[in-house]
Structure formats: structure tokens, C-alpha cells
Amino acid sequence: MSLELLIDILIATVPLMLIFATLFAFTTWLERKALARIQNRIGPNKVGIPCTRIGLFGLGQPAADGIKMIFKENIVPRGADRLFHLLAPILALIPSMLVLCFLPLDFPWLNENSVKAFLLDGAVIFFFAITGLNTLAVFMAGWASRNKYSLLGGMRAVAQMVSYEIPLVLSAVIVVMMVGSLNAGEIAGAQKGGNWFVFSPWGFAAFVIFFIAALAETNRSPFDLPEAESEIIAGYFTEYSGFKFALFFLAEYIAMFAISGLAVTLFLGGGDGPGLAVLPWLSVIWFLAKIFALIAVMIWLRGTLPRLRVDQLMGFAWKFMLPLSILNIFVAGFAWHAEQLDNKFIMVITWLISLAVLYGAASGLNQLNRGKVRPREYKYAE
């Protein structure tokens, strides 16, 4: 390997890791602050500049948390599988870090000769392949802890992640069909000039399905059953402490960034936005801003929605999301053929028909899945 290639690889990867690790620290603060406001609290507001009284809205909290995590004792249960207990957080972090390079972040310091993994033919399929490894890390953590609650959390997580991966991939297929490429750079390029996929009936449906499935993939509330505190303590990382716990935490947030980044690439136009003609480097800013918008929605949902039951979770994936995403593929196929005709009138008709079909299918599935539960009758407590 030549030195130049090594330097090119470092230039392409190190900034990504630094930027997203910084964003991770900021997001933990943002999440705690936002949740606190939703719950009518103040949130972290004490830690600022050390040895002064300056609080800085608690912005020093992530650093303080990090220092605390590193110096905490590393406890491994006696019956645990020591090797797997050690490997699980590492295996959780590596795939989430690795997929960041498939996001079409065109940094200003990258030129034509730089290593750009997102221009790989098949970047999207690599993305899905590598995110699939997260499931194994979660199972490994749950199994290695030799704890019933951990194992329950791990099995819940595996079932949930495997189920929700299908609608996730099927909704991404629509974009791949429309663009005719698995290349993340080409997909983002096809949406230049406000021509985003989310602004079409099939694209919007696919985006909503993708986002819900992404919430479940990253174990975010309302799908946070694998780590449901009130049911199984902390799920698969009950037995983790100190730095290993911090690694899990980091992996979870990086996975959130990565999957939001893929949603931005596929549906929200990548780095597209106003002002690109004047300042091309704005595309990175727009990309990160869109990721943050999605993260803000995730935090908002966490503060708003209650957790699902296991049967509701599975039913939602298999009885609602899967049929809808398959139907959406057919709708998108017909829309693609209509687009080839290049006729305004036909396009309008296609839009109306696909809107009607998707809305009808969604409400019909909703009716079908509605449980046979009547309002509860109170016999004695009048």
C-alpha cells in the first residue's frame, strides 16, 4: 500500500469520525434538554466551564459524563462469557461507524482522487449489509451477560430488528428503482434542485415507512422494547458498566446518525438546498442540518409516545408495514412507467391514483388490524 493511498483513506475517514463523535456529544445534551422541556423540567444546566460558575446551559455535561464513564469500574458478572462480553460493545460500534462512509457527504477537502466509498456501485446494499451486524452485537451482549433479563432483551431486539429490516429495505428499493442505481452519490445527485423523492405520493409513503422502521432498527422509543426499563431493567446492557456501556451508548447514537443520513440521502435530497450554486460546500451543512431535523423528530417522538407491547410491535411490522411497502413498490413501478411517457396530464392522473391507492391501503390495513376491543365496561366502579 502506498503512503498516498493511506493518507487519502485517512483524509476520507478521520473527519467523519471526529464530526460524528462531536455531534454525538451534542445530541446527548440536546436530547436530555429537549426531553426535560417536554416534561416541564430544566434538564442539565450546571456543568459548564470548570472552576467557574458559568453554566453555558449545561453544555459541559457530555464531557463530564464521558469522564465519569471512563473512570467507572468495569464489572463483569461471574457467570458471564468474558470474551463475548468484551467483544459485544466493539462489534456494536464498528458497523455503525463503518456505514458512515456510505453517506454522500462531499466535504470540500475531497477532490476527484480521494477515496469516496459512497460512489461505490452498490453503496446502499453495503449499507444495509453492514447495519445488519448490529443485531448480532445486541444478541451477543444479551447472551454473554448470563442474565435472564439481558437474554430477554437480546432476543426481543433480534426479533424486532429482523422484522423491521424488511420494510426498511423494501422502502429503499423504491428509490433504487426510480434512480436505477445503488450508488449513494448518484441517488443524491438525481434529486438536485428540489426534486426530492419525498415530494411524491410513493416517495412520501416510502419515507414514512423508512423512518418508522429506522426508529425500530435503532431501538428508539416507541420501539425501545429491548431496553424497556420498566419491564426488563435495561435489556441487553443490564450487565454493562463503565466504558463498555459508553461504547454501547455511542454505537446507538452513531447508528441513529447513519440511518438518518441514509433517509436524507434516499428521500430528502442528500446535500441539496438553496445557495449551493454560490457556495458548493454548503451541501455538507445542509446534509447535517437535515440529519439533525430527523434526530429532533426522533427526540420529540421519544418524549411523546408510550412504548408498544411486543405483540403490537410484531403485528405492526408484519401486518401493516410489510403489505404497505410491497404495495408501494407496485405503485412506484407504475409511476415510473408513467414518468417515461413525459406527459403532464398523465403525471397528474398518476399522482391522484397513487395517492388514492396508498391512502386506501393504509386506512384499510388500519381497519383490518384494529383489535376487537370494545370500550371497557366498568361493572363495579361506578
Partner 1 sequence: MNEVIAFWILSAIAVLGALVAVRKRNLIHGVFALLVFFAGLSGLFLLLLAEFIAAVQVLVYIGAVGVLLLFAIMLTERVAGDDGRRMTSRGWSWGLVVAAAVFVLLLLSLWPVQQLSMPKAKDPSEFLTQISDPGYDGNSERKRILNSVRTIVNRWSN
Contact positions vs partner 1 (CB under 8 A): 1, 84, 120-122, 125-126, 128-130, 132-133, 135-136, 139-140, 143, 146, 151, 155, 158, 162, 165
Query: Among residues 140 and 317, whose Cβ is nearest to partner 1?
Result: 140
The minimum distance between CB 147 and partner 1, in angstroms, equals 11
The minimum distance between CB 229 and partner 1, in angstroms, equals 23
The minimum distance between CB 80 and partner 1, in angstroms, equals 11
Contact predicate 162/173, CB 8 Å: no
Cell numbers standing for residue 208: 414514512
DSSP annotation string for 15-63:
HHHHHHHHHHHHHHHHHHHHHHHHTT---S-S-SSTTSS--GGGTTHHH
Cell numbers standing for residue 299: 427526540
The minimum distance between CB 1 and partner 1, in angstroms, equals 6
Contact predicate 97/254, CB 8 Å: yes
Instruction: State the DSSP code for 374.
Output: P
The minimum distance between CB 343 and partner 1, in angstroms, equals 28
Query: Among residues 151 and 266, whose Cβ is nearest to partner 1?
Result: 151
Q: How far is CA 295 from the centre of its chain?
A: 8
Query: Among residues 86 and 120, whose Cβ is nearest to partner 1?
Result: 120
The minimum distance between CB 154 and partner 1, in angstroms, equals 9
Select from 106, 88, 138 the least CA-distant residue to 261. Answer: 106
Query: Among residues 150 and 350, whose Cβ is nearest to partner 1?
Result: 150
CA distance 171 to 266: 10
CA distance 191 to 272: 7
Single-letter residue type at 153: G
Query: Among residues 139 and 253, whose Cβ is nearest to partner 1?
Result: 139
Query: Among residues 184 and 294, whose Cβ is nearest to partner 1?
Result: 184
Cell numbers standing for residue 313: 410491535
